[in-house]
A and B are shown apart, each in its own frame.
Chain A
Amino acid sequence: EPEVTQTPSHQVTQMGQEVILRCVPISNHLYFYWYRQILGQKVEFLVSFYNNEISEKSEIFDDQFSVERPDGSNFTLKIRSTKLEDSAMYFCASSKREYTGELFFGEGSRLTVL
């Protein structure tokens, strides 16, 4: 069964360092998303991506964050200068359709900022 894969599963970094989280969405999906979940809190939307551009982003997704699909398969989330409060589980998801497409999530990348 096709699946969304994420790497790394866990990354520990120092405050101020750049981090890149990688995702390989399901191959025939067109819509890509990043969500995050701070420990003990609910999942929050970060950004949606379609046709090689951001289609929507949340208030959380400030200038420290960026996304790209560099090679047609990988979908990456970059945090330029990590803060302690960026520590969270980051989930990538993909779907065939935007509004009514079933979502497929990756297993998540746990980011710990020290």
Chain B
Amino acid sequence: KNEVEQSPQNLTAQEGEFITINCSYSVGISALHWLQQHPGGGIVSLFMLSSGKKKHGRLIATINIQEKHSSLHITASHPRDSAVYICAVKSSKGTSGSRLTFGEGTQLTVNP
């Protein structure tokens, strides 16, 4: 079983729709990252969370530490949001605390 599971793997939406991508993890963590990978391959950090909720523009990220679950929401989606969204966690275990463990990613396509 993967330490980080994302769902769905693929998501197609119409412009303007509200989008949710989910991430579940099985280890204790010190932080969870949401990343965006563009078609060219570059990776951009969207959020880093250790508790609660963060908002940046149309993006909202939440985390429930007890349930080991995080969600990334996109409001009023736009075709430029089309990308792969990746959840990654930093374990709270002492010997592996600096590495990120990545999910498989969610391919989002937003159609006009």
Contact = CB atoms under 8 A, between A and B. Distances in A.
Does A associate with B in a complex? yes
Interface of A: 31, 33, 35, 37, 42-45, 48, 50, 55-56, 58, 89, 91, 98-108, 110
Contacts of A106: 42
B105 A42 contact: yes
Contacts of A31: 98
B41 A58 contact: no
A33 B90 CA distance: 13
Interface of B: 30-31, 33, 35, 40-45, 48, 50, 86, 88, 90, 95-105
Contacts of B43: 43, 91, 105, 108
Contacts, number: 64
B98 A107 contact: no
B99 A89 contact: no
Contacts of A50: 98
B18 to A, nearest CB: 26
Main secondary structure of the interface of A (DSSP, over half): strand
A98 B94 CA distance: 12
Contacts of B45: 102-105
B42 A107 contact: yes
B102 A100 contact: no
6 contacts: A44-B102, A45-B99, A45-B101, A45-B102, A56-B99, A100-B30
A56 B95 CA distance: 8
A108 B31 contact: no
Contacts of A110: 41
A45 to B, nearest CB: 4
Nearest to B44: A105
A103 B48 CA distance: 8
